[in-house]
Amino acid sequence: MKPARRLRRGFAFLPILLILAVLAILWWQRHLILAPAGTLLDVGEPPQKADVALVLAGGWKGERVLYAGELVRQGYVPYALLSGPSFFYEQPECSYSIPYAEKHGFPVAYFQCAPNNARSTGEEAAAMLPELQRRGVRKVLIVSVRTHTRRARAIYSRLPHDGIEFLYASAEDPSFRLREWYKTREGKKAVLLEWLKLITSTLGVDR
């Protein structure tokens, strides 16, 4: 084979080699690329003193109610108000989560139940705001799982909240570490689904 032809064939493989090199670098540095997709969902802050902790529904693993109990125990709030949609055999969620918290060492007196018929975070916010106003609350710690706080903040900030200050306290999901969400099935489901909900929420489709 002539040298010029061999040279041309060698150049033809350069794009393939470059693509493979880029893919190898991306794979090697995948943590730096993928980790922020999870951590950007968390807008939780260090807890502050407030009038109440509002625990959003959906903490099926108990992380939200247990974190709220800890906030009461540490004196950040006098009690935790649990949103209670009737998901479970027409019973409010809080009728299960409060006994769960008691089983884990928190007094029942730490918690109060607020039954509602919400089927999304937006509906829940609309249902809970009048309840907070009725109680004369001025400062609220909203407790949810870390992957949910950004969307919750976007929804609550759109409400006419009449001077109520909302702060956000993030509970850790016990099934995965948020910075390593892409390493587990539960993490992938939680982060990808939350991004989908966050995007559709901006289009007026709240879940």
CATH code for the part of the protein at 52-202: 3.40.50
Quick check: 83 and 128 in contact, CB under 8 A? yes
Percentage of residues of the chain with pLDDT beyond 70: 82
| pLDDT (0 to 100) of residue 13 | 53
| pLDDT (0 to 100) of residue 26 | 44
| pLDDT (0 to 100) of residue 7 | 44
Q: Which of 54-58, 69-73, 77-81 has the lowest mean pLDDT?
A: 54-58
H/E stretch holding 102: helix 94-103
| pLDDT (0 to 100) of residue 200 | 85
Q: Report d(CA 90, CA 205) in Å as an integer.
A: 25
Percentage of residues of the chain with pLDDT beyond 90: 61
The residue-averaged pLDDT of 137-154 equals 95
Single pTM value for the model:
0.82
| pLDDT (0 to 100) of residue 27 | 47
- The predicted-structure confidence for 23-49, as pLDDT tens digits, reads as follows 454 445 556 678 888 999 999 999 999
Residue 14 clears pLDDT 90, i.e. is over it: no
| pLDDT (0 to 100) of residue 160 | 82
Q: Report d(CA 115, CA 87) in Å as an integer.
A: 11
Query: Which of 158, 139, 174, 144 has its CA nearest to residue 41?
Result: 144
Strand order across the beta sheet in which 80-85 lies: 111-116, 80-85, 52-55, 139-145, 165-171
Quick check: 65 and 97 in contact, CB under 8 A? yes
| pLDDT (0 to 100) of residue 204 | 67
The CB-side HSE value for 203 (13 A sphere, CA atoms) comes to 8
| pLDDT (0 to 100) of residue 136 | 94
Query: Which of 56, 86, 80, 65 has its CA nearest to residue 156?
Result: 56
What ranges do the domains of the chain cover? 52-202
Is pLDDT larger for residue 5 or for residue 40? 40
